[in-house]
Structure 1
């Protein structure tokens, strides 16, 4: 019986329907044991920028030159008077106050700002560089590879890949993880075609341009999830070439999770055997949340995927941008090169790599562990549902995907309000990403201000709230036509 239900769900998705999760699905339910089992050792290039300009005028931020802090030469007597040190101290003090204020009004970007790394301040005096391969010590001795490999082992266990079967490294950001994952796919299949949904992160299409890969954009459902009917239609004319597929474990704008199992089934049904496709999973934010959501689809190397990447400065909460990239060891030889003067091997995107980031990641993973992340995921999903419900009760169109903490709603009319709350906007929609540091109190402050502002935006009766049905579906729109 269960098997027939699963077949029906896949059939509906292949027909382009938005399929809700089963009724018994509870996005904030606690899974009984979040601890994964211990692993036993043994070329059409898409010009997205031109397309965006053609479709709409994009609102850019302020020119930083209008407020930059100039670098000036010290006066001859500065060492005696100490005026320069006092000046710099005052600038930094003002900057710190501005950071505190901006952090209070931070809602639109997926960064966990709830952290305290005071214990690591003692390491700031060292230039820690993990240049080269994480698993091969180089001649440069001031490194943190022992922390880096410990973190990689933790993630390999999370994604069910044995220690002797994976390769990975700590990246400088989520974009680097995508660049590396897609590069591995390209090296495994030099004549492969890259497929990615239209709502994939911009770094995926950047990779296509950088590597001069043929890239085909796939349509999405209203939820933001990849439309596997369109995916199949675009695979069929290219059955003679291998497929390199980017799968989103949470899209940037809507937080939609592509159905990995359906993507694999679509490839198989179209005639692609496992040795003719490579799947990279972009899990920048939700890749670390989904393992702790009960009955959520599983991202695991037990399925025929090639790589997974997540960001370290997002859900984990590192103070500097960083990320984790894991791939199968069998693939890495395709792009690695030995470097004599390093006494190591190069298989990464960057040369020098931040050696402090692995220590921050290691510190957090040890403090929180799998169970700690599980509690934070539950809190985020609960608060996201609270925000969505309050928006809707105020007559504001809003959508929340079932596996997501990204709440999508009508784009505010006032760009100053957008900047104040640091909202991420696209077309007629904006979103709030509910992270562990986002409390109900902060959401209430935001909602009260938004509702108050809306009463002035639409008070003359001439302006109306935007229709967002095309973005999130008419059932989530609150415009005059779809109320």
Structure 2
């Protein structure tokens, strides 16, 4: 009989209350399997990206709790998955994640549902939160970017994209009729924000380095002098690691007649936002300059094992977004309501362990290894480019997609890149290069493939194809 009882804490069946309505529980809780149509095939958008294998979720048998077979099965699956992660981590070069971390001390917190919903600076009725850690992390970044504690507002985002969405949203609310300007090599989330917010967006040309072309920027500003400017400045572009010259962007705005109340600058520092403060020649990202917001990813250079980020803006701007939420007993000006409460603890832990000096050493190591790798590539006859302020080494795209997948390279057109992070050693770079050289010998044997020309992407001086070699 359905509804005759339920399991108590000790595993025994206890009778249900007399007033329990058995009809409130469906008799068969497992929905029927949906058969796939023979005439409909799943479309793969990017063609070469094959859908991964599926670990099906299956219903437990009636005696699973007694035999323990399901627990053993799941333990076996997870063990195999861990081995796969270990192997894939060995060949991880194309994406900007710092895999050099150890958070074993934080495993004791995994049993808690930590949620930092609402404003980080206003405690809500939900008591299982980590706001004290979050605000500590925000204060650390506020000091890095030179803004006083009583002059900024911020929060920990779920990823770098959310930081961009929030920064551009603040810009739009401050300047409702503003036009969004972004270089064509800006992260796709910037253009996603323009679509989401129905903003007019103007793409700016870039130099071969990937840096914004301020001559083109000025020309396009002059076409729209009657509208305020909301500008995305890249502190490290996605593909080439180019750092836009913040000072030149500000000068261009001012020279074109835009007063400071007519422009808003958001700095997308997803990866290099934490690296640039420790590079002597880099344009300084500072709220002492007329910028409106800065965002950085926490799972990239910092090395958090889960996607997250930090978004800092001026306190004077945030009231345009804030709303009182009665049932939280708090205010909310974030993009997402609920936010991962574990992430701030991970970042707090790392910032305490490393500090500014620790990150300075890691930045120096990354830049040094990036220059080493770029030089070795060119010595091997591989066209390559490295921006002066970057640890992203751009080079000719490999001809073998299996090789690309093995080393998890990010590719675009005729180029690929390796992002040298703290966990990427010279030994790992040597292993990659040795295998690349062996593969190239096979690809170019008997003119099976031709060496890619990358002059249009990175300039003739960086290309080593037959046409440009020696120029």
TM > 0.5 fold call: yes
- Deviation at 1:465? 0.7
Q: Distance in 1 between matches of 2:63 and 2:447?
A: 65
2:243 pairs, out of 232, 243, 257, with 257
Q: Deviations over 1:236-288 (max 9, x none)?
A: 01111000000000000000000000000100011000010000000000000
1:236 pairs, out of 214, 217, 222, with 222
1:466 pairs, out of 448, 452, 470, with 452
- Deviation at 1:109? 0.1
Q: Distance in 1 between matches of 2:47 and 2:85?
A: 23
* Structure 1 residue 206 corresponds to structure 2 residue 211: no
Which residues in structure 2 correspond to 1:398-409 (within 5 Å)? 398-409=384-395
* Structure 1 residue 95 corresponds to structure 2 residue 75: no
Distance verdict in 2 for CA 1:60–1:330, change over 3 Å: farther
- Deviation at 1:463? 2.4
Q: Deviations over 1:79-134 (max 9, x none)?
A: 11111000000000000000000000000000000000000000000000000000
Q: Distance in 2 between matches of 1:220 and 1:118?
A: 43
Unaligned stretches of 5+ residues in structure 1: 1-56
Cross-structure match for 1:388 = 374
Q: Distance in 2 between matches of 1:462 and 1:325?
A: 49
Cross-structure match for 2:252 = 266
Q: Distance in 2 between matches of 1:449 and 1:100?
A: 20
3-state SS in 2 of match to 1:281: strand
Q: Distance in 2 between matches of 1:360 and 1:102?
A: 23
3-state SS in 1 of match to 2:399: coil
1:363 pairs, out of 349, 362, 368, with 349
Which residues in structure 2 correspond to 1:57-456 (within 5 Å)? 60-64=48-52, 67-456=53-442
- Deviation at 1:62? 1.8
Q: Deviations over 1:298-353 (max 9, x none)?
A: 00000000000000000000000000000000000011101000000010000100
Q: Deviations over 1:379-413 (max 9, x none)?
A: 10011011100000000000000000000000000
- Deviation at 1:77? 1.1
Q: Distance in 2 between matches of 1:60 and 1:367?
A: 42
Cross-structure match for 2:31 = none
Distance verdict in 2 for CA 1:70–1:58, change over 3 Å: closer
Q: Distance in 2 between matches of 1:187 and 1:255?
A: 29
TM-score, structure 1 as length reference:
0.87
Unaligned stretches of 5+ residues in structure 2: 1-44
Q: Distance in 1 between matches of 2:219 and 2:398?
A: 37
Cα RMSD of the aligned pairs, angstroms, is 0.8
TM superposition outliers: structure 1 runs of 4+ over 6 Å? none
- Deviation at 1:462? 4.8
Q: Which has the higher contact order (CA 8 A, sep 6+)?
A: 1
- Deviation at 1:295? 2.7
Q: Distance in 2 between matches of 1:62 and 1:361?
A: 34
Give the number of the structure whose alpha-carbon radius of gyration is greater. Answer: 2
Q: Deviations over 1:133-153 (max 9, x none)?
A: 000000000000000000000
3-state SS in 2 of match to 1:113: coil
Q: Distance in 2 between matches of 1:126 and 1:95?
A: 24
Q: Distance in 2 between matches of 1:116 and 1:291?
A: 25
Q: Distance in 1 between matches of 2:204 and 2:135?
A: 36
Q: Deviations over 1:159-206 (max 9, x none)?
A: 000000000000000000000000000000110000000000000000
Q: Distance in 2 between matches of 1:81 and 1:163?
A: 57
Q: Distance in 2 between matches of 1:62 and 1:78?
A: 34
Q: Distance in 1 between matches of 2:394 and 2:172?
A: 34
Q: Deviations over 1:65-90 (max 9, x none)?
A: xx110000001111111110000000
